[in-house]
Chain A
Amino acid sequence: MTDFIVSKYNYWIYVLLIMIGFYGMMAKNNLMKKLIGMNIFQWSIILFYISIGSKKGGSVPVVDPSLHPAIRALDYVNPLPHVLMLTAIVVGVATTGIALTLLILIYRKYGTLEEDEILEALKK
């Protein structure tokens, strides 16, 4: 049991981060806190992906020309998840940008960022 937890400690950390982000998204009342929870959620998924690509004893994925053609895949960290996560980071940045703009519009209209107060104002 301890081996199960200790050997996969990186996955446990990411699960913890995802749950923290998820809690923030769902349970918090302030819209800004929801946004921060969403950010934590997205970045922790990105961290998860990057940890997939790592290998014990692997080095930076740049081919040393002196080794060519005796290249072993075991020597290098997998660069594909890194590249995929560059795209995901850009997606996260764009999400944050749009969300902040929407928050400005909401604040200008309702004067508050608390969700229950906005719902009260909508009911009227």
Chain B
Amino acid sequence: MVKDLEDVVIRTVSRILIPFIQIYGLYVFVHGHGSPGGGFQGGCIVAASFILLAVAFNLRESKRRLKERTNAIFCALGVFIYAGTGYLSFLYSGNFLDYGQLSNLFPTDPIKARYYGMAMIELGVQITVMAVMVSIFLDLITAGKHEKTLEEDGK
């Protein structure tokens, strides 16, 4: 009886907190240029929200919210955003990761375009870091056996 009450407290609090943790992760990411923060830190915080979901509830709940296949696609998506920003500057005959060329794409001057380019790659970093952290956590707590569920999910 007491145990059920404990669970109720933990579950209610985490149910309230998790969206705020994710928003805080986004806040840390966006303010990375001027205060401590950035892509990696924001990604870790957003991953912590999913890990809190897995710890407070059970693993099935966490997998219901973020399927493993979606997680793996996020992992690749972040790298594509990063490398894609780099490749965009190829189109305008700049060097790789030359954000100044992005001013041909966005209606800003080259200096502000560097600012936006950095924000774009930080977004890619955040998505990948979140996916990888959640994936490492899932691997470790299931001792690797969750790969069977990946096969069952329909290969």
**Chain A residues within CB distance 8 Å of chain B:** 62, 86, 89-90, 97, 100-101, 104-105, 108
CB nearest neighbor in A for B136: A97
C-beta contact mask, B130-143 vs A, less than 8 Å → 1, else 0?
Answer: 00100010011001
Chain B contacts for A100, CB-based, 8 A? 136, 140
Interface string of B7-20 (1 = CB under 8 A from A): 00000000000000
> B38 at interface (Cβ–Cβ under 8 A)?
yes
How far apart sit A93 and B143, CA to CA, in the bound complex (Å)? 18
Distance between B33 CB and nearest chain A CB, rounded to angstroms: 8
Q: What is the bound-complex CA distance between A86 and B38, given in angstroms? A: 10
CB distance from A94 to the nearest CB of B (A): 8
8 Å CB interface, B114-154 against A: 129, 132, 136, 139-140, 143-144
Contact residues in A for B34 (Cβ distance below 8 Å):
62
| Interfacial chain B residues near A108, Cβ < 8 Å | 143-144
Give the number of residue pairs across the A-B interface with Cβ within 8 Å: 22
A97 to B35, CA, bound (A): 28
Check: B99 CB closer than 8 A to any chain A CB: no
Closest beta carbon of chain B to A93's beta carbon, Å:
8
Known A90-B40, A108-B143; 18 more pairs at CB < 8 Å: A62-B34, A62-B35, A86-B38, A86-B40, A89-B40, A90-B129, A97-B132, A97-B136, A100-B140, A101-B136, A101-B139, A101-B140, A104-B139, A104-B140, A104-B143, A104-B144, A105-B144, A108-B144
Q: Which 10 A-B pairs have the closest CB atoms?
A: A97-B136, A104-B143, A62-B34, A100-B140, A104-B144, A90-B40, A101-B139, A86-B40, A104-B140, A108-B143
Interchain nearest-CB distance for B150 vs A (Å): 15
In the complex, which residues of chain B have a beta carbon less than 8 angstroms from the beta carbon of A105? 144
B149 to chain A, nearest CB (A): 16
Chain A residues within 8 Å of B140, by CB? 100-101, 104
Cβ-defined contact, B40 with A101, below 8 A: no
15 A/B residue pairs, CB under 8 Å, sorted by A? A62-B34, A62-B35, A86-B38, A86-B40, A90-B40, A90-B129, A101-B139, A101-B140, A104-B139, A104-B140, A104-B143, A104-B144, A105-B144, A108-B143, A108-B144
The residues of B that contact A89 with a CB separation of less than 8 Å are: 40
In the complex, which residues of chain B have a beta carbon less than 8 angstroms from the beta carbon of A101? 136, 139-140, 144
Q: Output the nearest chain B residue to A98 by Cβ-Cβ distance.
A: B136
User: How many Å lie between the Cα of A108 and that of B143 in the bound state?
Assistant: 9
Question: How far, in Å, is A53 (CB) from chain B's closest CB?
Answer: 14
Which residue in chain B gives the minimum CB-CB distance to A101? B139
